[in-house]
Amino acid sequence: MNKTENQKAWLFVLPVVALVAFNAIIPLMTVVNYSVQETFGDNTFFWSGIIWFEQVLTSERFHDALGRQMLFTFLILVIEVPLGVAIALAMPRKGPWVSVCLVLMALPLLIPWNVVGAIWNIFALPDIGLLGRMLNGMGFDYNYTRQPLSAWFTLILMDVWHWTSLVVLLTYAGLVSIPDAYYQAAKIDGARGWAILRYIQLPKLKRVLTIAILLRFMDSFNIYTEPFVLTGGGPGNATTLLSIDLVKIALGQFDLGPAAAMSLVYFLIILLLSWVFYTLMMRNEAQQ
């Protein structure tokens, strides 16, 4: 005898659906509306078709900002994922130090993004900042407010400090979920160090690392507050990432049509690259 499904459970989901519609779908439709129209004030709109999309996709400014954004995301993933895995492997699995390590790892994630940018803005100042004075005292010519390379170094270092903890916590959760039987079998077989990491830990961490990579990719590709507070996109346009350039167009120049088209292109790029990342990693896992 088949059981009847209770459809009343959907009533509990409706408030969430309504909230998501209000906070996401309606603003998205507004952006779509602006991306195909032109306005000259008084809330009067004129149909413009896909002219703003053509302008964005053929703009050298957009290409440069996208290139800087992709470079930033690439460096973040290359540094933070291996570093996070290494720190998680070094953390204790038992004893009183476990809680201490977990709290220390979680602390950077609790700091608001604008506060992180403000902290590093002061910390890296070449004259009064601890990092700036230390690097200049060691003989390096460091000034992130004037030198593009120094600005990029500071920006990457800030993000690594802020977000590597996320990779660490996810990886650590995956490590402690591995049954002890695997380690006991490896010990009986005489496996040590690298062999355990390669044949036991990394295979068991694939799904966790997939989540970590996707989260860090999407977040680093969307990053705005920290670099804006730290460098404001400077010196010049050296650290003007795609998100910062979008805000400059929308709020600085008040070009709502191009900004809306650019935001939709930005959104589609993130969706496409996230899908490619996920598909490739899942396909690799299925093959193995």
Q: Hey, what long-range contacts does 7-14 have (CB within 8 A, 24 or more apart)?
A: none
pLDDT (tens place) for every residue of the chain, 288 residues total: 455 666 777 788 888 888 877 788 888 888 888 898 887 666 677 888 889 999 999 999 999 999 999 999 999 999 999 999 999 999 998 888 999 999 999 999 999 999 999 999 999 999 889 999 999 999 999 999 999 999 999 999 999 999 999 999 999 999 999 888 888 888 888 878 888 888 888 888 988 998 899 899 999 999 999 999 999 998 989 999 999 999 999 888 888 889 999 999 999 999 898 888 888 777 766 665
Residue-level pLDDT at 27: 83
In this structure, what token pair is assigned to residue 170?
């996810």
Q: What is the CA radius of gyration of the chain?
A: 24
For residues 66 and 243, give the distance between their C-alpha atoms in angstroms, rounded to a whole number. Answer: 9
For residues 288 and 284, give the distance between their C-alpha atoms in angstroms, rounded to a whole number. Answer: 6
**Is the Cβ–Cβ distance between 215 and 167 less than 8 Å?**
no
For residues 245 and 224, give the distance between their C-alpha atoms in angstroms, rounded to a whole number. Answer: 10
Q: Which residue is associated with the tokens 């002890």?
A: 180
CA distances from 250 to 34, 119, 241, 263 (A): 11, 27, 14, 10
For residues 205 and 176, give the distance between their C-alpha atoms in angstroms, rounded to a whole number. Answer: 10
